[in-house]
Amino acid sequence: MGSHDDDDNLITPDEPKVPSADTVEQYLRLHEHIEQLRQDKRPARPGKLTSEEARTYQAAALFRAATPGADEPDPDFVASLRARLAQEISTPPTTRALRVARGRVSRRGLLAGGIGAAAAAAIGVAVGSALPHASSQTPKWTTLINQGSGIWQAVATTDEIPVGGVKRFVTDAVVGFVRHTSEGYLALSGACTHMGCLLNWNAGARTYDCPCHGGRFTETGMSAPSSAVEYNPLPSIQTKVEDGKVWVYVVSAPPSDTLPTPGGTGGYPTR
Amino acid sequence: MALHKARTAENRSMQADEPPNPKQDSERLRSLYEDNLHVIYRFIYSKVGNREEAEDLTSQVFIKAVRGIDSARGSASIQSWLFQVARTTIADHWRSFYQLRAHSLDDLLEAGWEGPAESQPVVTSATPQDRVRRLLEQLPEHYRDVLTYRFLLNLSIKETAARMGLSEANVKVLQFRALKKAGRLELEGVQQVAE
């Protein structure tokens, strides 16, 4: 890092300095970056930066964080992350250890979005035998919970979804879609396998669209050809019909304040 | 919920004065995020400055943490360990975002990072607001003004230009230089702490 400070030739209102061409580019690039931060959007990569330039961008991030209210987490985000983590920790330790081991093998993949696949998987779906495409495209995630450790929850009445219809459902830990086909009712996890963002059903295109990074899934849960990137298929969820209702088999996520027994928290306060 | 005796034993080594408890393992994980989600999110936000990335990275940190909780053994506190996870996650992110070599990241990571993470719990008392206030005090007046208008008051380039009596192009130049200077001051602050 240079010791002299060429920036002490400051621009002042009365004597604007004409900047050289490449620095104009720098100003504009940073400006674009700041505007993206002000919209709370993921900024475009600024390209290769020197460490001094990176520090300038870091200062922009810091100042943005000081904008009143900016660094307050979105309650929806907090709630959904909590649900995912509650789900994650209710999986048996052996499964967890297995996934950790696997994560270690492909750290790069983990960062490139593999973790998102796991995160979405963590949203807690009992992947039954009914993963129709598992043989052709082996998903990175495996069985999420053991059979028997989930619960059945009713998410719709049979007459509310016509054949061809799709209904979104929300349980304590799972957001998903149940679809009425000629073969019956089928359900899928509603979290994108990229980063776990919640998908929207696009009735026109008959796809599940991810609002975050352009992921798209066909109604059967496969990565759609129009997806920005080919992602792992959506985990399927077991369904059954009983008492005129459609049930899905999901992991229960007890609220955190009902779980712990007194004295069991080892000095870490619970809420 | 299945629990391994071995894991319980490990937990006891970390929290020695506590009787074994079958719920302890998952409870420990639960408190891990209940207690730290907001503080980690804010820390990450101060490094990336936008919600989309802050949410992605926060999710990554906690999922890694929940899966790798066993490696927290021996850390001074769960929180300092968690910040360590956050640091490496941010470092990985920056490496690709800024296309920097690894060693260039050290300075960046040190900024706002108080105290050696391994030896003591991380002090998170310096909020971005505090750090920004401290930086503003050290900046020349027009730098201070442009950053105040643009960030603390969240004004557009146009509004800032009107208030400062500058052209919009000049505001863009000024904010660049002000942030560059602020970045340097942050680095100097880190180096002083390290000495």
DSSP B102: G
CB of A29 within 8 Å of a chain B CB? The answer is: no
Inter-chain CB proximity A70 and B45 less than 8 Å: yes
Angle subtended by helix axes B168-194 and B157-164, to nearest 10 = 90
Q: How far is A17 from chain B (nearest CA, A)?
A: 9
Q: How far is A201 from chain B (nearest CA, A)?
A: 21
Q: Which residues in chain A are closer than 8 Å to B107, comparing Cβ atoms?
A: 51, 55
CA separation for the pair B115, B123 (Å, rounded): 7
Q: Where in chain A is the domain with CATH 2.102.10.10?
A: 76-256
What is the ipTM, given to two decimal places?
0.79
Inter-chain CB proximity B51 and A40 less than 8 Å: yes
- Residue with tokens 């943490």, as numbered in its chain: B65
CA separation for the pair B117, A86 (Å, rounded): 27
Residue A261 has pLDDT above 80, yes or no: no
DSSP B101: -
Residue A134 has pLDDT above 80, yes or no: no
Of the ranges A257-266, B29-38, B76-85, B179-188, the best mean pLDDT one: B179-188
* Nearest beta carbon to residue B128 from set A16, A48, A66: A66
Q: Are B89 and B61 in contact (CB under 8 A)?
A: yes
Q: Are B162 and B156 in contact (CB under 8 A)?
A: no
| pLDDT tens digits for range A39-66 | 999 998 887 788 888 889 999 999 999 9
The mean pLDDT value for A136-149 works out to 43
Please, what CATH class does the domain formed by B5-110 belong to?
mainly alpha
Of the ranges A63-67, A124-128, B36-40, the best mean pLDDT one: A63-67
CA separation for the pair A216, A185 (Å, rounded): 21
The mean pLDDT value for A207-235 works out to 85
Residue of B nearest to A24 (CA): B173
Inter-chain CB proximity B50 and A47 less than 8 Å: no
Lowest-confidence region among A72-86, A169-183, A250-264, B176-190? A250-264
Interface A-B, measured as beta-carbon pairs within 8 A, has a size of 277
Please enumerate in sequence order all residues whose Cβ is within 8 A of that of A259, keeping only pairs 6 or more positions apart, or say none. Answer: B23, B26, B27, B30
CA separation for the pair B65, B71 (Å, rounded): 9
Test the A interface: residue of B51, B133, B154, B158 with most A CBs within 10 Å: B51
* Nearest beta carbon to residue A62 from set B7, B59, B128: B128
CATH architecture of the domain B128-194 equals Orthogonal Bundle (1.10)
| pLDDT tens digits for range B124-183 | 457 888 889 999 999 999 999 999 999 999 999 999 999 999 999 999 999 999 999 999
Residue A4 has pLDDT above 70, yes or no: no
Inter-chain CB proximity B50 and A41 less than 8 Å: yes
Residue B189 has pLDDT above 50, yes or no: yes
CATH architecture of the domain A76-256 equals 3-layer Sandwich (2.102)
Instruction: State what percent of residues in chain A have pLDDT above 90.
Output: 19
Q: Please, which residues 167-196 of chain A have a Cβ atom closer than 8 Å to chain B?
A: 195-196
Q: Are A111 and B61 in contact (CB under 8 A)?
A: no
Domains of chain B by residue range: 5-110, 128-194
Q: Which residues in chain A are closer than 8 Å to B1, comparing Cβ atoms?
A: 90, 92
Q: Average per-residue pLDDT in chain B?
A: 76
Residue of B nearest to A254 (CA): B30
Inter-chain CB proximity A90 and B1 less than 8 Å: yes
Please enumerate in sequence order all residues whose Cβ is within 8 A of that of B185, keeping only pairs 6 or more positions apart, or say none. Answer: B135, B138, B139
Q: Which residues in chain A are closer than 8 Å to B60, comparing Cβ atoms?
A: 111, 115
| pLDDT tens digits for range B88-108 | 888 888 887 877 665 556 656
Inter-chain CB proximity B59 and A74 less than 8 Å: no
Residue A181 has pLDDT above 70, yes or no: yes
